Amino acid sequence: MSTDDPLDVADGGKATAGSLEGGAEQEVRHLPVMAGEVVATLAPRPGSLQIDATLGGAGHAERILDATSPDGRLLGLDADPAAIIRSAARLARFGARVVLRQVNFGELVDVAPEAGFGHVDGLFMDLGLSSFQLVDVERGFGFRAGGRLDMRFDTTQGRPAADLLATMEADDLAALFRKHGEEPFAGRIARTIVETRRHTPVDTAEKLAALVERAVPAPKARRTHPATRVFQALRIAVNDELVNLESGLAASLVLLRPGGRLVVLSYHSLEDRIVKRFMAAEQRGCVCPIEVPVCICGHQPRLRSLGKSQVPSNEEISANPRSRSARLRAAERVAA
Ligand SMILES: C[S@@+](CC[C@H](N)C(=O)[O-])C[C@H]1O[C@@H](n2cnc3c(N)ncnc32)[C@H](O)[C@@H]1O
């Protein structure tokens, strides 16, 4: 899902969230992004073994299981315990064809073989957060969330974002906002956080969003909330997202059979750059420096491109504005 605008509430995937923004009980849905393109590119065949490394509301997983009927199997992962519970209910009709694990996909290379998915035909990753997480005020992902600023996908471990804001030095906070958010006013925002926390803790999403809005100059035209980049940076840091993405991508080389496909949906330039570089590097043969006349690296291509990256149609963006920043990249494992 897009991190562009955590104010929106998306649709699709059906569940009732516990503590919603505004306190209202309402049906929350998460529409699977580019679902047609994902299934067409992954091309899951009946009887095949597939991994969905980011179950969320299991919208994509359900389609992949339908496409692999009657006997294809799917290993579904999510770091978020609530996503596993939700997905188990949605996928119950597939019975023993589904195996679910609450785990970070950074551990995929160990988890998949243990679950009987050591050699698979497809690996799908839909990065970022789901609508269920976004609207839950206890999680702190949305700008208006009044609960504690948490932002962990896996609520059972790690440090909530509020802890980082309470303890990090201004220089370190600024570096984080620059590195993971490409935030132009990083220093100014970091200093305002440190000044503010001397008398008032910056411990909710609502307080942080208001603080950033005060700290930065008002933009001439506003497409996104001024705190978007700061929220993105904190979320990436709290979940160590980019490191886990590198590990998850590397696992595809071990787990995919020749002809098996890797399909990744990313939502901002930092994650897309990692996916793009990984796929490009693994499509190359020799990676010796240019001044070396004869290859000494022995590097062989391990992936084959499945064409240019894809973006959602205008119709999908109108129906589901959250899909607007999505980019799909795909590659196929080739035999060594
Ligand atoms: C965009 S949602 C997936 C939505 C899903 N494709 C659907 O159709 O409902 C991303 C999910 O990935 C999970 N996630 C993000 N990073 C993860 C990681 N490193 N390991 C495991 N799960 C992760 C989040 O908790 C979230 O539930």
Average pLDDT by consecutive 10-residue portion of the chain (336 residues)?
37 39 56 97 98 97 98 98 97 98 98 98 96 88 85 95 97 98 96 97 95 88 86 96 98 98 96 97 90 89 96 96 95 92
User: Partners of 52 in the beta sheet?
Assistant: 76, 124
User: For the chain, first and last CA: distance in Å?
Assistant: 34
Tokens (6 digits) for 12:
């699709």
| pLDDT (0 to 100) of residue 16 | 38
Only one residue has tokens 């940076």, namely: 233
C-alpha 220/C-alpha 184 separation (Å) is: 15
The dihedrals phi and psi of 95, each to the nearest 5 degrees, come to: 55, -130
CA of 1 to the centre of ligand 1 (A): 9
Tell me the pTM: 0.91
| pLDDT (0 to 100) of residue 24 | 42
| pLDDT (0 to 100) of residue 144 | 80
Only one residue has tokens 């990692």, namely: 274
Tell me the DSSP string of 205-223. HHHHHHHHHHHSPPPSS-S
| pLDDT (0 to 100) of residue 299 | 86
Q: Ligand 1 site: residues with CB under 6 angstroms?
A: 1, 13, 30, 32, 54, 56-60, 77-80, 83, 104-106, 126, 128-130, 153, 244
Tokens (6 digits) for 41:
């590119």
Q: What are 271-315's pLDDT values in tens digits?
A: 999 999 999 999 998 888 889 989 998 889 999 999 999 999 999
Amino acid identity at 15:
A
Q: Where are the alpha helices (DSSP H) in 153-300?
A: 161-167, 170-181, 186-197, 205-215, 228-239, 241-255, 269-283
Among 78, 91, 127, 157, which residue has the most ligand 1 atoms within 8 Å of its CB, making it the best to mutate? 78
CB atoms under 10 Å from CB of 336, counted, come to 8
| pLDDT (0 to 100) of residue 138 | 87
